[in-house]
Amino acid sequence: MTKMTLGAHPFLLGFEQFERLMERTAKSDNNGYPPFNIEQSGESAYRITLAVAGFAEDDLAITVEDQQLVIRGRQAEDEAGRVFLHRGIAARQFQRTFVLADGVEVVGAAMENGLLHVDLARSAPEKIVQTIKISRS
């Protein structure tokens, strides 16, 4: 039995990118750290909020790579002379990725009370009507 892929279906011409997108999403690491919320803040606006307690702004990096929003966190090791009797606050590095749809752009980011807010906006695509001229062979 041959497995039919999404991009191989005859009615889905040019949709190979969706198959790659689904594979990339399935491979993304969802270990639960740091926890996050995704909310719709307007008709075409979204906000991703990550709980990054203990991280400073300089410890975080936000990039967009190949239609993926990548948020990385790495804390400096400053534990010299500190003795923990209990360590319940996670202080490990992380990388959290979010796949962005076409037309979705990052418009800003802000830290507030241990929460990192990343604001996104979807631009409305232009509606283009194209007439195709039929030529004689």
Provide the domain count of the chain: 2
Please write the tens of the pLDDT for every residue from 9-50: 666 666 666 676 667 666 655 578 899 999 999 999 999 999
**Same domain for 76 and 116:** yes
The model's pTM is 0.71
pLDDT at 114 over 60: yes
Cα 111 to Cα 67: distance, rounded to the nearest angstrom: 23
Percent of the chain at pLDDT > 70 equals: 75
Q: Give 37-46's long-range contacts (Cβ < 8 A, gap of 24+).
A: 38/98, 41/119, 44/121, 44/122, 44/123, 44/124, 45/107, 45/119, 45/120, 45/121, 45/122, 46/104, 46/119, 46/120, 46/121, 46/122
Asked if the structure places residue 43 within a domain, the reply is yes
Separation of first and last alpha carbons in the chain: 41
Range of the domain at 91: 32-122
Cα 52 to Cα 62: distance, rounded to the nearest angstrom: 13
CATH number of the domain encompassing residue 64: 2.60.40.790
